[in-house]
Each structure stands twice: as C-alpha cells, then as structure tokens.
Amino acid sequence: MSRIIGIDLGTTNSLAAVWKDGKSTLIPNAFGEYLTPSVVSVLEDGTVYVGKAAKERLSSHPKDTAGVFKRFMGTAKKYQLGGRIFLPEELSAFILKRLKEDAERYLEEPVEEAIISVPAYFNDMARNATKRAGIIAGLKVERIINEPSAAALACRTLRQDVYRSSTEEEDDDIVQLVFDFGGGTLDVSLVECFDNVIEILAVSGDNQLGGQDFDDMLAAYFIRSLGLDFDAMQPETKAMIRKSAEQCKQELTKKTVAEMAVNCHEINNKIEISRKDVVRICAPLFEKMGKPVKRVLMDAHMTPAKVHQIVLVGGSCKMPVVQQYLQYLLGREDVEAIEPDYMIALGCGIYAGIKERKEDIKDMLLTDICPFSLGVNVVNPQNPEKPLMSYMIERNSPLPVSREQIYVNAHDNQSQISLKIYQGEGIYAEDNLYLGEILFSIPRMPTGQLQCFVRFTYDINGVLEVNARIPMIYEEKRLVIVNKELGMTEQQVKEKLIEFQKIKINPADEEENIYVLEWGKRLYVQSCDEEIKKEIVKRLQYFQYVMAHDIYHLPKVRKYTTVFIAYIEGMMNAFLDFPEEALRDGSWYQGEDDEMDKEEVENLFKEWEEDKE
C-alpha cells in the first residue's frame, strides 16, 4: 500500500508528517532535522539544490537562489535561476519532491499522495497552483486544507492527551485563538472545538508581515547606524547583512542582548542589539501585528477574555518580545509557545491519518470557512462608471456554502446582462479581484422586469461554481472558476508603474472628504454585519452625490457622515479595548534590559565608527 503524508509547505520552512503507530509523526530529512528550508537554488549546469544547501547559497549566489516564493503562488511571477525560468509552483514542486523522497526513505515504502496545507486567505489560483506543484512533484493532492484548520486539529489532539491524564477537566466548548507567525506571513484565526467538531469561526492575517520583516528592519538599522551605503553594496553583502540580522534575532530568543556582526570584504563590523532595541526598531511591525488579532475577534464578536486558549504557531512566535506583546495586547498571561514549528505539520499528519481511514479519529469533522467575500458587480446609481460589489458569499461563511440571489435588469431596453464575478472586500467592484464573467443577451424590456437567478457554490477545496439562469428566455449558464492566472504580467506591472507616476495628488481642500470616504470604506471592510454594511454604503453614496452636485450642503453632510462613521467605529471597537498608544511607542515592553537605552546604543556606534578610522 502506498502512504499518504501531510505537508506544511511553508513560506520559509516546510515539513511533513505521517500517521504512524496511532499518532501523527514528523518525518526527518537527510540531516535528521524536521524543518527543510523552502529555498531552491539552480546551478549553471542545471543541478537543483533544495533546502539547507540552497539556503546557504542565498548569500553566496543570491541571483540563482529563490526563497519566499510561496507569496507568489498562483501568480505569473517568474524566477530566473541558473539561466532557466521557473514559476512559483515549479519551485514549490522541488520542495515537495524532496519531502516525498525523505518520507519514502523514512517509511521504506512508496508515498503517492499528500495533503498539503495552505494559508486560509489563499485564493483559488494559489490553491490550484499548490495542487499543480504536487502533481509536478509526483504526488496526488486530493485535499488542500487551511493551515489554521491543521493547527486546530493538532491542538485538539494534544488537548485530548491532557484530558486522558486529568479526567477532572470538562470537555466543554473551547475557543482557541491561533496566532501563526512565520517567516513571511501572519495568520490569525479563531477556532472552536466541541465534541468531535472543529469549527473555524474567523480568520484574518497579513500576508506581508513575517519574521523576515524583523530581519530587514534590523539589517536596515545596522546599515543606518554604521552609515553604510546600501545602494552601493554587492547583492552578496546585502544578503550577508540580512543573514546576520536573522541570527541576531534568533539569539535574542535565549539572551536579552546579542551581537550582530558582518565580516566580508566590504564590511567588517558589528553592533549589539537588545530585545528592547528590537521593540523600538521594529515598532511598526508590532503595530501591524495587532490588527488581524483585533479583526478576528471583531468578526467573531468575541473579546480576548472569552478566548479559552491562545495557541502560538510558527517560528516567529518563539521571540519573547512577540509573546510579551501578545500578553499585553490580549491582557492575558497564558500566552505560550508549545512546539510552534510543528503544529501545522502534525495537524496535516492527523488529517492524512483520517484519510487513510484509521479508526481512532475518523469521526472528527473539520469545518472550513471562506476567507474572503465573493460577489458580482451591480449598477451604481450615483456613479455609473464605478459599479458596486454585491455580495453573494460573505467572508467567513462556513464551507461548503451555496447562496442564490435574484438580480434584475437595471435599465429600460437593456440588451445584455453581464455578470462579472469578483473576490474581495472592496465596496466597488473594481477594487476586488476579477475572477470571470457570464454574459446573456436579453430581450428589451422595462427596468426590473427581467429576473436573473444567480447561484454561487463555494466548495471545501476553494473551487467556485457560478450558475446563472434567466427563466424568461430559458437560458442557463455555468462558470467554474479554477486554475486561473492571478496577477499581472511583467508588462502590465510596468504599465501600472507608469500609470501610478502620473496620478495627481488631490488638492488639499478635498483631503477631508477623501478621508471621510476612506474611513467609511475601511469600516465597511471590517464590518461583518449585513445591515451595517448596507447603511455604510447608503451614507457614502449620498455623501459622494453631495460632493459632486451640492457643494453648498457639503460641509453639513460631511459632518453628519463623520458622526455616523465615528458612531459605527465606536460600536465596533466597544468589543475590544486595546490600549492603542502603548502599541505605537513600545511602552508595553517590560524588558529585563532596560539599561540599554537609545543614547547608549548610538554612542557605541560612534565608538565603532572611530575604531574603523
């Protein structure tokens, strides 16, 4: 029999697990380690290095080595390595192939199938690219699961182990906040466990925030402090500085002060960095980190106090400053990281076990959710140039989900209906990701007389099926959205860049109007309540109408709109009472190393500077 393995295909590190001897077991690689760096390097002769060896080449051969390609899964981004061109999914396939080989060596039997986890916010294109990566690596991938689902599955199982030893505990509903902070991404989710069901209540995240940002910020600090010229540096030197920054950051897990040293032909220098410096230097990162936490709590109508357990996942959660920040943010002491590197892979391994129909856990259910809203464009009466987004499926709906809605013709004598399908949270259709279109030719008739029934079905694998029928003309059309190329071509990116440079900055007297509009739009995105969403749209449309047609009443309407938005914001924030100022100035940090202040650090730099001369 061939085996099924579970794979955590990470941005920075990947690992695999298998169901063995009644439990999920991690699979060691050739080095006897569990983590394989998600790095690929291609030599001039076409030889491909994967994992640890490739990671070493990040600093020695940065041009022929790629990491962090998971961020671009499902996009048309191309990598040129060793004179050859690769898509992100091809690079991922190299990693998967290595994990498959490691597993076969470990299990001494063939592995033909894998369950792979992906971030909850991955869209259809990224999910399908992940499946394609599996196929390229010679693995059948029938099931893609969300990373927080996998972590939840693992946590629940660990919890059961605890229960077996202490029968006193009651197995009530348990709500867990899963904070997954990896190298390139942050995923925050709320998960509820009861009986044999694991349900994800809400997910949020920031796919542009990870441990690497700490490395970059510390590297920039190093460069700035020593007055180096970043632009003039060789790529190899830049990579070395970043590597040294990461080492220093990791040392700060064990120590309160660590050295950051770079020794190469261009630079031979070092600085000392304390945990407190990290808090100060990386303040914007801590601020960003708090946002998705707030958002999941808000989406699920929860407060930090109602959460039973805080689960830390991902390598960056090992940072004491991150743990302390979360303790402060959530107002709780019980923030601790248990096996943060392995949680997701262990969950994937359990899932592989379920799939192999192992008796002991087959009764477990897993409910996933749709991490983004899906909808169609509708006419915007205030501004026909900018169609609105009409939602069919709301963000955070449990999967599978199927919804039907009726739309009508918007104009007299309209000759066709064009249903454009979008994914995203923007009010205007154009602010969202375009997925496809269904077009009908219709008989001319008065407004509102022709009905079109639209059904969206979004399945557990993230495949969207759109059905549209117009009974009056006996027509029905169907569109399945899979395997689409997201992202722009390089040419399009270049065009966008030029377009952006031409954009004029709006005149100062419009600033306030724009601010009010943007503020409203943000609340629209953040709110999960249908009624509130509708009301926000109504008010913003009216405000825009007045902006365009009624300058005289504008100040008054702006005032009313502002009061309304402030009220909604207040209502939404009433759920949570986070101390905002402290997040910004870093005063939340109660470090052991208070003695290392800014002035002292600067004096040290001066000394080194002088040493150099």
> What is the binding site for Mg ion (CB under 5 A)?
10, 182, 314
212 is a site residue for ligand ADP (CB under 6 A): yes
Residue 319 binding partner per list Mg ion, ligand ADP, none, with a CB distance cut-off of 5 to 8 Å that depends on partner kind: ligand ADP
Six-digit token string for 473: 């003309």
349 is a site residue for ligand ADP (CB under 6 A): no
Region binding ligand ADP by CB under 6 A among candidate stretches 8-16, 102-110, 152-160, 515-523? 8-16
461 is a site residue for ligand ADP (CB under 6 A): no
316 is a site residue for ligand ADP (CB under 6 A): yes
Q: To the nearest 10°, report the CA torsion of 280, 281, 283, 284.
A: 160
Give CA–CA dist 570/341, Å, rounded.
38
Residue type, 418: S
Q: How would DSSP label each residue in 373-419?
A: -EEEEE--SS-TTSPEEEEEE-TT-BSSEEEEEEEE--STT--EEEE
In 3D, which of 188, 169, 406, 181 has the Cα closest to residue 294?
188
Return the residue of 6, 10, 74, 148 that touches ligand ADP, per CB under 6 A.
Answer: 10
The distance of closest approach from Cβ of residue 312 to ligand ADP in the complex, given in angstroms and rounded to an integer, is 10
Residue 253 binding partner per list ligand ADP, Mg ion, none, with a CB distance cut-off of 5 to 8 Å that depends on partner kind: ligand ADP
Return the residue of 62, 67, 184, 462 that touches ligand ADP, per CB under 6 A.
Answer: 184
Region binding ligand ADP by CB under 6 A among candidate stretches 180-188, 422-430, 526-534, 536-544? 180-188
Our CB check for Mg ion shows the closer of 27 and 419 to be 27
Under DSSP, is residue 24 helix (H, G, I), strand (E, B) or coil?
A: strand
The distance of closest approach from Cβ of residue 569 to ligand ADP in the complex, given in angstroms and rounded to an integer, is 33
Q: Which long-range contacts (CB under 8 A, 24 or more apart) does 241-250 make?
A: 241/267, 242/59, 242/215, 242/216, 243/58, 243/59, 244/219, 245/214, 245/215, 245/216, 245/218, 245/219, 246/211, 246/215, 248/218, 248/273, 249/211, 249/214, 249/215, 249/218, 249/278, 249/319, 250/318
Contact 373, 427 (CB under 8 A): no
Residue type, 40: V
Q: Calculate Rg over the CA atoms of the chain.
A: 26
Return the residue of 6, 88, 148, 315 that touches ligand ADP, per CB under 6 A.
Answer: 315
88 is a site residue for ligand ADP (CB under 6 A): no
253 is a site residue for ligand ADP (CB under 6 A): yes
Contact 353, 361 (CB under 8 A): yes
Return the residue of 207, 250, 303, 467 that touches ligand ADP, per CB under 6 A.
Answer: 250
Residue 318 binding partner per list Mg ion, ligand ADP, none, with a CB distance cut-off of 5 to 8 Å that depends on partner kind: ligand ADP
347 is a site residue for ligand ADP (CB under 6 A): no
Give CA–CA dist 168/102, Å, rounded.
41
Residue type, 580: E
Region binding ligand ADP by CB under 6 A among candidate stretches 176-184, 353-361, 363-371, 436-444? 176-184
Backbone angles phi, psi at 150, to 5 degrees: -65, -45
187 is a site residue for ligand ADP (CB under 6 A): no
Residue 61 binding partner per list ligand ADP, Mg ion, none, with a CB distance cut-off of 5 to 8 Å that depends on partner kind: none
The distance of closest approach from Cβ of residue 505 to ligand ADP in the complex, given in angstroms and rounded to an integer, is 36
424 is a site residue for ligand ADP (CB under 6 A): no
The distance of closest approach from Cβ of residue 182 to Mg ion in the complex, given in angstroms and rounded to an integer, is 4
Q: To the nearest 10°, report the CA torsion of 288, 292, 294, 295.
A: 140
Region binding ligand ADP by CB under 6 A among candidate stretches 5-13, 354-362, 400-408, 483-491? 5-13
In 3D, which of 153, 174, 538 has the Cα closest to residue 381?
538
319 is a site residue for ligand ADP (CB under 6 A): yes
Q: Using CB under 6 A, count the residues that bind ligand ADP.
A: 21
Our CB check for ligand ADP shows the closer of 150 and 388 to be 150
Return the residue of 64, 192, 206, 246 that touches ligand ADP, per CB under 6 A.
Answer: 246
The owner of tokens 């906040």 is 177
Return the residue of 314, 349, 353, 387 that touches ligand ADP, per CB under 6 A.
Answer: 314
Region binding ligand ADP by CB under 6 A among candidate stretches 91-99, 246-254, 501-509, 573-581? 246-254
Q: How would DSSP label each residue in 285-341?
A: HHHHHHHHHHHHHHHTT--GGG--EEEEESGGGG-HHHHHHHHHHHT-S-EE-SSTT
The distance of closest approach from Cβ of residue 10 to Mg ion in the complex, given in angstroms and rounded to an integer, is 4
Binding-site ranges for ligand ADP (CB under 6 A): 10-13, 182-185, 210-212, 246, 249-250, 253, 314-316, 318-319, 341
